[in-house]
Amino acid sequence: MLDERTSTTRPIWYGALFFCALVIAVSWFRWATFQYSTFDLAFYDQAFWLALQGKWHVSLLDVPLMGNHAEPICFLLMPFYWVWKHPMFFVVVQTCLLATMPFTALRISRMLEFSRSASRWLALSTLIAPALGFMALHEFHPETLAAPFILLLLEARLAGRPGLYWLWFLLALSCKENVALLLAWMCAVHWVLERRRGREWQIVFNIIPGVAALGWLLLYVLWIGPSLNGGRVDYGELYSHVGGLGGVFTSPGRAIGAMWHALLNGNLVWGLLLPFAFLPLLRPRWIVIALPILAQHFLSYRPSEWNIEFHYAAPLLPLMWFGSAEAASRLFWRDVLAGWMLAACIACQLWFGPARSIYHTVATSGDALWEREWRSSMLISVERGASVTAGIPYLSHLAQRDSLHSLHHVLKGLKTLSRSAYDPPPPTDAVIMDTGDLTTFSRVAGYYHPARTLADGRVVPSSDMLLHDFFKRATWRVIARNGFSIFLKGEPTPTRKQAPTGMKLDEHHELLAVDPFPPLPGDSMLFSFTWQIAKGRGHVPWVSLFLRDANGKDFVISKGPVLPGSENGRFSETWSVRPPPGVPPGKYRGMLLIYDSFEFDLPLEKPRFKRSEIAVGEFEFR
C-alpha cells in the first residue's frame, strides 16, 4: 500500500512544486519590475504593517482592514507576516495554499472510485485549469484562498466528517463576504435536495452551517461593513446601471439585459466549463449553487468581473471541478472522461490560459529589467518614513509607511467605486508619477479622463487639472527621466538662462527656451526647459520626444504634463531621457512635440497647438 500511495502521489508532488516555483518566480519578477496593476497587495501590506504597530486605519483606501471586505482570515495570517514583513509574503502563502488543491482532488477522486491513473489526471487538472493560473498570478486577494478551502470542505462533506467540514467551512467563510453568501445558499440547496438523509445530517451539514453563514453575512453587511467603511468604498455603485441591488427586483428586464451582456462579452462561464469538458452541466446542482456568485459578477458593470483573467472565479472553480468529477464518476467511461478533462485543461491553458501571458513576461523581460534598474535607483530618493502618493505599480513597493495614497484617486477625482468627490490628502512628501503607466493613467477604467459631467449635474474637472490642483498646494523639486517623475516637496529648480525659443502655445503657456545637451555616458540625453505660465490655466499641455531615424521611423518617449501645480511665473525644469533598448544604435533627429493629451493617443499626428513641433538637434547612439 505504501508503494502504491507513493507512486500515485509522486506526479502530484512534482506538479505542485512546479506550480509553486513557476507562479512565485513569475509573480516576483512582475512585482520587482513594477508590473502589478492593482492596489490590493499594497492595501494588505500596509494594513498588516500598521496593525503590528497597533494602528488599524489604512490610508490607501481610507478604511480599516475590515472596512473594505469581510476577510477575518487576514488575522490568521498576521502572525506569519510578523516573521517575514514583505509584500511577497502574501503571494507565497496564496500560491502554496492553491497548490494543495490537487492533493484534495486526488483524495476525492479515490472516494468516487476512479482508478489510480484517472485520479491523478483529475487531480492535475485542478493545477492546469486556466482559472487557477489566473487566480494565482493575479497578485493577492483573500477571496482566492476560498478555492482550496471550499474543495476541502466538499471532501469532508463527501467523507461525512463533520469536524473537518466545520473547520474548512469557517476558513472559507472568513475569506470574503460573497463566499458567505455562496455557502449559505449551498446549504439551502442541499437542505432541499437531501431531505432523505436524516435529521442529524441535515442539522450538522446544512442547517447550522447555513444559519452561521447567513448570520455572518447579515452581521457584516448591516453593521460591521457600514460602520467601518462609512461609504468610502461604495460597492453598491457597481450595480448603479441596473438601479442598484433594489433595481434587480423592480426592473428585472434591465437586470436580465445586463447579465446577458456580461455573459456574451465575458468568458467567466465558458472559461470554467470548457476546461472541464462541460461535465458540470450533467450535475446541475453545482450550477445552481454557483448562481449567487455568477449573478453578483454578471450584474456588475466592471468587465473584469465577467472574466477568468482575475480572481473572481475563485469560489466557483472548486464547485465546477467537483461537479465534473461527480458527473464523470456516474458514467460508464469514467476513467476515459478523466483523461479527456486533463487534455481539455491543457488545450484551454494553451488557448486562453495564463501560459501566453507568462510567455509574454519572459519575452519582454529584458526591457522590464532595463526599466527596473533606473527606476529603482530613482526611488531611493524617497525616504523610508516619508508620506507618498504614487501610481498603482509602485504602491506595493512603498506600502510600509503610515501615509500612502494612490495617484489614480487624484486623477479620477472620485472615491473608489463612488460618485463622491475625492478629497486629496495634504501634500505628501513625495509623489511618484509614471505617464507610461497605463494602469494609473487608464482611460478604459476611467481614472484618466477629460472634464465630465455626472448624472447629478456635477462637473468633474479633467485629470490634468485635478493633478494641477493637487500639486499647486506646495512647491516641488522634480527628478524626471523619460515618463517617470519623482516630485519631492521642496524648492524648485532655479531658473536657467538659455537661448530663447519664444514659442507661445496659448494665453497661458509659453516655452521661452529649450536647451538640449548631447548624449551623456550611457546614451542619456538631458533637456532643460524654461516656461512662462500665466495664472488660470484651463488645461495642462504634455511633452513628448520624437527620435526619427533616416528612414522616417519614429520612436516616441513621453515626458508627461508640463509643470503641474505651477502658474503665474517663469519656471525651469530638466528632463533626462534614456532611449529604451528597442531604439537601435544610429543617428536620429530629435523633435519635441507639445500637445493636449486628451485629443489623441500615441502615435501623435495632429497636435492641438500651432508650431508645437520643435527640432532639438541630431543625436547618435552607439
Q: What mean pLDDT comes out for the span 241-249?
A: 83
**What is the CB-side half-sphere exposure of residue 101 using CA atoms within 13 A?**
33
Beta-bridge partner residues of 410: none
pLDDT digits (tens, 9 = 90+) for 319-335: 999 999 999 999 988 99
Q: What is the mean pLDDT of residues 449-459?
A: 88
> What confidence score (pLDDT) does residue 585 get?
85
Question: Which residue has 450538522 as its cell numbers?
Answer: 204
DSSP 243-261: THHHHHHH-HHHHHHHHHH
pLDDT tier, 595 (very low <50, low <70, confident <90, very high otherwise): confident
Q: How far apart are CA 168 and CA 69, in angstroms?
A: 20
Instruction: Give me the mean pLDDT over the 462-469 stretch.
Output: 94
HSE-up of 530 (CA within 13 Å, CB side)?
Answer: 14
**pLDDT given for residue 491 in this prediction:** 79
d(CA 534, CA 508): 5
- 273, 281 Cβ separation under 8 angstroms: yes
Q: How large a percentage of the chain has pLDDT more than 70?
A: 94
What one-letter code names the amino acid at 484?
F
> Could you tell me if 479 and 488 are in contact, meaning their C-beta atoms sit under 8 angstroms apart?
yes
pLDDT band at 514 (very low <50, low <70, confident <90, very high): confident
Average pLDDT, the chain: 90
Per-residue pLDDT of 46-73, as tens digits, reads 999 999 999 999 999 999 999 999 999 9
CA angle 142, 440, 132 (to 5 degrees): 30
Give the mean model confidence (pLDDT) for residues 130-141.
96
Q: What is the DSSP letter of 72?
A: T
Distance (Å, whole) CA 130 – CA 127: 8
Measured from the Cβ of residue 368, the count of other Cβ atoms closer than 10 Å reads 17
Per-residue pLDDT tens over the stretch 255-302: 999 999 999 999 999 999 999 999 999 999 999 999 999 999 999 999
Q: Are strands 404-406 and 509-520 parallel, antiparallel or unpaired?
A: unpaired
How far is 47 from 399, CA to CA, in rounded Å? 9
Sketch the domain layout of the chain as residue ranges: 2-35+69-233+266-361, 365-491, 495-622
Cell 523610508 belongs to 384
pLDDT, position 359:
95
Q: Before 519, cis peptide (omega within 30)?
A: no
- Output the pLDDT for position 610: 41
DSSP 428: P
Residue bearing cell 433595481: 247
Contact 58, 233 (CB under 8 A): no
Predicted confidence (pLDDT) at residue 233 exceeds the cutoff of 90: no
Per-residue confidence at 604, pLDDT binned at 50, 70, 90? very low
CA distance 229 to 327: 43
Residues in the chain: 622
Cell 445586463, residue located? 258
Question: pLDDT, tens digit, for every residue of 165-210?
Answer: 999 999 999 999 999 999 999 999 999 999 889 899 999 999 999 9
Strands 452-453 and 542-548: unpaired
- How are beta strands 484-489 and 500-504 bridged, if at all? unpaired
CATH number for the segment(s) 495-622: 2.60.40
**What does the pLDDT look like over 210-228, one tens digit per residue?**
999 999 999 999 999 999 9
Give 518-546 pLDDT, tens digit per residue.
666 666 788 888 889 998 888 899 998 88
Residue 321 in 3-state DSSP?
Answer: helix
The yes-or-no verdict on residue 559 having pLDDT over 80 is yes
What pLDDT, on the 0 to 100 scale, is given for residue 605?
Answer: 45
Alpha carbon distance 306, 270 (integer Å): 11
Region of 177 please: left (phi>0), alpha (psi -120 to 50) or beta: alpha
- In this prediction, residues 393-411 reach a mean pLDDT of 96
Instruction: Look at residue 188 in the predicted model and tell me its pLDDT.
Output: 97
Least confident of 44-58, 532-546, 571-585, 602-616: 602-616
The answer on pLDDT for 309 being more than 70 is: yes
Provide the H-helix boundaries in 353-399. Answer: 355-363, 365-379, 392-395
Q: Cα–Cα distance between 130 and 356 in angstroms, integer?
A: 11
> Residue 364: which residues within 8 A CB-CB, separation 6 or more?
none
CA-nearest of 208, 173, 184, 190 to 71 is 173
pLDDT for 523: 62
- Half-sphere exposure of 445 toward its Cβ, with a 13 Å CA cutoff? 20
pLDDT at 338 over 70: yes
**Rounded CA gap, 149 and 120, in Å?**
20
DSSP string over 189-242: HHHHHTGGG-HHHIIIIIIHHHHHHHHHHHHIIIIIHHHHHTTSS-GGGGGGGG
Please determine, for residue 6, whether its predicted confidence score (pLDDT) is greater than 50.
no
Report pLDDT for 602.
42
| pLDDT per residue as tens digits for the range 80-124 | 999 999 999 999 999 999 999 999 999 999 999 999 999 999 999
For 410-441, write each residue's pLDDT tens digit: 999 998 888 888 999 999 999 999 999 999 99
Give dist(CA 34, CA 42) in Å, integer.
Answer: 12
Cβ atoms of residues 446 and 452 within 8 Å: no
Give yes or no for residue 496 having a pLDDT over 70.
Answer: no
CA-closest candidate to residue 220, choices 228, 232, 209:
228
Averaged pLDDT for residues 474-494: 88
Give the pLDDT score at 608. Answer: 43
Q: Is residue 160 over pLDDT 70?
A: yes
Q: What DSSP assignment string belongs to 437-501?
A: -TTTT-TTTTSS---EE-TTSPEEPPHHHHHHHHHTTS-EEEEEETTEEEEEESPPPPPPP--EE
Percent of the chain with pLDDT over 90: 69
